Amino acid sequence: MHEEKQETIRKVILDILYADGEPVFRIPQRNRKDKKISLFHRKTSKTFLVYSKILLRMYSMLQLGTYCTKRDIFYEAPQFYKKQETVNKAIDDLAGLLQCPSSHLGVRASSKGLIHGDIRFILNDGTAVDCSRQGTTFIPVLDDVLSVEFQENTVFVIIEKEATFRAFIQSDHKEQRAIAVTGKGYPCTATRQFMNFIEKTFQPRIGILVDFDPHGYRIGLMYKKGVLDEEKDERCLTVSSAVLLGVKYEDLVRHQSLVELALLTSRDRTIATNMAGKIKNSSSLQEFFSEITAMLGLGKKAELQAICDKETGQLPPGFISEKLHELF
């Protein structure tokens, strides 16, 4: 595998060096012409150098059989790259150019996501991670996982925020087999890869629980559909079978005496309107579309914590059990 990727990188480098006229990267774009990044063009010359530096770093890692994270690469030359996003974009584009995941090029995801429930991992080095005994743990990087074990008829609940995740695991659902996962806001690639693996390998029922606000729904869509503004193929990161558990408009109506609603800001409205426009014709995303439309019509938003008990921080009795019932 490494030898094949090394040869591909060598070919790309030679194509760049011996291209007619100018050294240039041609980055594939979905439904559009390739993006040209030229060394001789004033607007792209720095980007060309960034891509070249990272490509050579990938080649070196493949030769040595080593790995690093996107963050590792950034901190090797922070003054040169300026921003982490510059490194992230370059790695994603080079993976597209080389037609393979970045993990096959020596760049591995680092995980910030958490998982809780009756699930067990065996890692490549033989280490066993038993979440039922150890409690909440970080989601392992998929490349480190040899096997995953959990009981039949177990459901997974993807939760937007850590605060909601904590409220979930303290709630009254112990009799139901549910594993809770959170990316702690916008999820890292490792969390998304892990959930994609779970869906494809085991086909469990999976639910999404987010705040009733534009950012919450954008995060929910990121898990189910991918990043809406990106043109790259994200099928290896999505959980297409996941269903929306909430927070929905009907939840606000049911608990209206408890819910503290806030007005949508102009920024919120822009985000929600753009999301609705992108998904309105997708049959698999109609529930998201309906809820976003309701949110815009209401002109208000609410966090899940708004219906939690102010003293205990716990959700209303039966709330989580009712949501899980939708998955069983």
Structural domains in the chain, CATH included, are 2-105 (1.10.10.10), 114-325 (3.40.1360.10)
Q: How far apart are CA 73 and CA 78, in angstroms?
A: 9
Identify the weakest region by mean pLDDT among 13-17, 90-94, 107-111.
13-17
Q: Work out the pLDDT band at 48, boundaries 50, 70, 90.
A: very high
- pLDDT at position 150, please? 95
Q: How far is CA 238 from CA 11, 63, 109, in A?
A: 31, 31, 15
C-alpha span between 194 and 239 (Å, rounded)? 10
CA separation for the pair 204, 207 (Å, rounded):
10
Rounded Cα gap, residues 17 and 14, in angstroms: 5
pTM equals 0.75
8 Å CB contact between 247 and 287: no
Dihedral sign computed on CA atoms, order 69, 75, 78, 83: positive
Across residues 224-247, what is the average pLDDT? 82
